Each structure stands twice: as C-alpha cells, then as structure tokens.
C-alpha cells in the first residue's frame, strides 16, 4: 500500500477529546483533518481544518465527507455500522469495520475473546428472563451490563442475588445484556499497542489504572508488575492485534486477580485514556502511532522518556467556578491538557494532568497533589 503522506487529509469520525489529541498530532506533522459528528464547536472541531456537523445516519453527508478525505479513522467505537460501511465505499477506513463491529458490542466482544482462547471474566448472555435465573446461581455476585453502547461504567449494575439482578434488568428495559462475574481484582492494568499496515507491532509498557465510580481516575506507567505479568499482557495484546487484524491502535484493559491471573476486561480499538500520558512521557505518543498506522507509515519508538502518571480532570473539579489553572502549573513537572468543553458536568472528562517523576509512584503523587490543589482552590473560590 502507498503511504498517505503529510499534506493529505485525514477524516475522523467522532469529535471528542481523543479526536482532538489525534488532530493535534496530525496537524503537527502537516496533515489536514476533517472531523464528522452531530455536534458543533467540538473538542476535535476546534483544532481540525474542517468540522462537519451532521447525523451519523445521514449517509449522503457521510458520502460527501468520505469523498473529501484520503483515509478515515474513528475516535470512538460506537459509530453505527452503516456509517462506517458507507464511508468505506469512498475511502479506506482504518481500523476496518470488523474490529468496530466486534468491539462496539460487549456480548460480541466477550464471545469473540472466549472463542479465540483469550482469558476473560466468566459471563453469560442475558436475552430472556430464564437466562438470569440460570446464570445467577452459576456466577454469584456479578455486574449486569448493557450489551451495546456502554462506556465508563455507564449502564452497569452490581447485583448480589436474583432479585437484584431482575430489578437491574427491569431498569435496563430488558435490553440485551451481559452478566459478568464480579472479579476480586488486585489491580486493573492496560496495554496500548499499535499495528501497522505491514503487520509490525509496537507496545507501551502496561500501565496501572485506578478507577473511581467506574471511570478511569489515575494511570501510572510503567506499572509495578512482575515480568511474567508484563509478558503475559503484552502477548495477549499482540495476539488480539493480529487476530482482529487491526491497523491502528488497540488498548486492552485487564484485571489482575488476587490469585495472580490475568483476565481481559475490555477492548478499545483506538487511543485510550490510559495512554494519554504517552503525549508527555514517550518518544512517540499513542495519537501519533494511530496517525502513522492509518497512513501506512512505520510506527514510532514508544520508549518512555520518564516514568509518568496521568490524573483525569472531571467536571467535578469545577465545583464552584473554572479552576485557577496556575495552581496546577506551579508544579513544573505537571502538564495541563484541556479539551475545550464548555459544560463542566460531574463525571464528564474535561481534561487531564500528566506528571513525570523519578518513579511512576512519585509521578502519581505529583499529579494527585496538583489536582488536589486545583480542587481545593475551586471549592474555596466564589463565583
């Protein structure tokens, strides 16, 4: 395949913060970026050359968008299949529609993982009431998750017994769901990998991830894992990049159980929140890797320049007013990333801080302390 060189136009389906950081990388290398989503003045649109505001279901608009770009990628996996298929008629879409199809539906994703021999949390498909009655005694305390369109812990209910499971399923309007055994994990970790058009793969070190209320809160890298765990999660990530035939970035999220077993929790066929620290801490960021892969260019060196940690800034940090960012920037190792979102709702990802340090643990302390100063300052200030 002929590489798509700087000066070409990259189309991005979706317009959130992942598209924004991707577009910044692409523009730095001299590419033009067009973004497509049903919104205006979006995080991606603010830094793209062209922002198209149309429904994903508007296939005429999708066709025009695709005809105006050299290659298309997406920044979130819930783009409807018909949209990706229409786009693919006019420009290459990377990664291809199969990865999208598998990963945008929890049940398909988990079925794929277990059928292809990847270690996965025990789960059952829930399509009718008898499924719950059979599955609950087998799995015990579990999490009921919607099969489609879930992210950041949304559409999830922890259930201890059949009564709770039935109530949770009612609350989901009896949509198709996955019942997943509750894992007693020691840690959550993730690996971001990239695979180029020629099949060459590169990986970042596994990061240790802390979640709060089902949302990623802090990631640090390299995570403090023994070599056998590192090797296992890197091997699984390579196996998935190959078996799903990914061209682009794939993030694999894992649980490490108290028994020392690794289980795949979730896949994201794109740059991931736990890889944001690669912007400030690695020779090549995950966004540049995505760009290089979808353009058919060789992957960059993923090596870390320093251990690092990332702390998310959710809308909650805006408790009274826009925080005074100088409180975070007084710490010279801290980098501020804001996504250009106007409405700071609780739980909404508004930005993040990255800190580097002598060790990942020290970087974590710096990032957390900087965020705590911001939160305290915002809470103490009056509008």
Q: Which residues of the chain form contacts with ligand AMP (CB under 6 A)?
A: 121, 143, 153, 180, 182-183, 188, 211, 214, 253, 265-266
Compute the distance between CA of residue 134 and CA of residue 291 in angstroms, rounded to an integer: 46
Please say which residue, 31 or 123, places its beta carbon nearer to ligand AMP: 123
Question: Which positions ≥6 away from 23 have C-beta within 8 Å?
Answer: 12, 33, 35, 44, 47, 48
CB 193 within 8 A of CB 202: yes
Best CA proximity match to 286, nearest among 278, 274, 295, 297 = 278
Residue nearer to ligand AMP on the CB measure, 24 or 178: 178
Nearest approach, Cβ of 271 to ligand AMP (angstroms)? 16
Toward ligand AMP, which CB reaches closer, 8 or 78?
78
Residue number with CB closer to ligand AMP (211 or 368): 211
Residue 152 phi, psi dihedral angles, 5° rounding? 50, 45
Q: What is the closest distance, in whole angstroms, from the C-beta atom of residue 10 to ligand AMP in the complex?
A: 28
Q: How far apart are CA 165 and CA 178, in angstroms?
A: 11
Give the nearest distance from C-beta 343 to ligand AMP in angstroms: 23
Count of positions (residues) in the chain: 383
Query: Distance (Å, rounded) from C-alpha 226 to C-alpha 220?
Result: 15
The minimum distance between CB 383 and ligand AMP, in angstroms, equals 33
Kindly state the smallest distance separating residue 216's Cβ from ligand AMP, in Å. 7
User: Based on CB atoms, which residue is closest to ligand AMP, 3 or 140?
Assistant: 140
Q: Which is nearer to ligand AMP, 257 or 359 (CB)?
A: 257
3-class DSSP string for 309-354: EEEEEEHHHHCCCCCCCHHHHCCCCEEEEECCCCCCCCCCEEEEEE
Q: SS3 string of 245-303?
A: CCCEEEEEEEEEECCCCEEEEEEECCCCHHHCCHHHHECCCHHHHHHHHHCCCCCCCCC
Residue nearest to ligand AMP (CB): 183
Work out the angle between the directed axes of helices 17-28 and 286-294 (0-180°, nearest 10).
70
Q: Which is nearer to ligand AMP, 266 or 364 (CB)?
A: 266
> What is the smallest separation between the CB atom of 329 and ligand AMP, expressed in angstroms?
30
CB 152 to ligand AMP: min, Å: 6
- Can you tell me whether residue 47 is helix, strand or coil? coil
Comparison of 182 and 306: residue with beta carbon closer to ligand AMP: 182
Nearest-approach distance from CB 188 to ligand AMP, in angstroms: 5
């Amino acid at each position: 395949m002929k590489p798509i060189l700087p000066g070409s136009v990259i189309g991005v389906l979706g317009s959130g913060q992942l598209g924004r950081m991707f577009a910044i990388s692409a523009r730095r290398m001299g590419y033009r970026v067009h973004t497509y989503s049903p919104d205006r003045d979006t995080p991606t649109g603010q830094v793209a050359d062209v922002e198209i505001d149309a429904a994903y279901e508007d296939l005429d608009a999708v066709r025009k968008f695709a005809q105006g770009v050299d290659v298309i990628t997406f920044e979130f996996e819930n783009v409807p299949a018909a949209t990706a298929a229409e786009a693919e008629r006019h420009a290459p879409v990377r990664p291809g529609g199969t990865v999208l199809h598998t990963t945008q539906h929890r049940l398909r994703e988990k079925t794929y993982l277990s059928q292809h021999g990847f270690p996965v949390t025990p789960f059952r498909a829930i399509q009718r009431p008898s499924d719950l009655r059979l599955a609950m005694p087998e799995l015990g305390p579990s999490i009921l998750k919607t099969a489609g369109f879930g992210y950041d812990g949304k559409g999830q209910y922890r259930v201890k017994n059949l009564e709770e499971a039935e109530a949770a399923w009612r609350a989901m309007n009896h949509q198709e769901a996955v019942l997943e055994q509750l894992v007693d994990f020691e840690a959550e970790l993730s690996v971001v990998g990239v695979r180029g058009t020629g099949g060459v793969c590169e990986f970042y070190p596994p990061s240790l991830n802390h979640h709060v209320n089902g949302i990623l809160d802090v990631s640090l890298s390299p995570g403090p894992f023994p070599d056998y765990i590192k090797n296992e999660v890197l091997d699984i990530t390579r196996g998935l990049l190959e078996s799903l035939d990914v061209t682009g970035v794939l993030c694999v999220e894992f649980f490490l159980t108290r028994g020392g077993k690794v289980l795949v929790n979730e896949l994201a066929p794109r740059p991931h929140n736990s890889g944001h620290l690669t912007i400030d801490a690695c020779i090549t960021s995950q966004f540049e890797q995505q760009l290089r892969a979808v353009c058919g260019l060789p992957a960059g060196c993923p090596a870390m320049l320093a251990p690092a940690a990332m702390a998310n800034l959710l809308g909650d940090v805006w408790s009274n007013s826009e925080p005074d960012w100088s409180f975070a920037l007084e710490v010279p190792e801290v980098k501020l990333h804001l996504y250009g979102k106007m409405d700071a709702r609780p739980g909404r990802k508004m930005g993040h801080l990255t800190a580097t340090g002598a060790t990942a643990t020290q970087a974590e302390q710096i990032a957390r302390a900087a965020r705590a100063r911001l939160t305290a300052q915002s809470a103490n200030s009056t509008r």
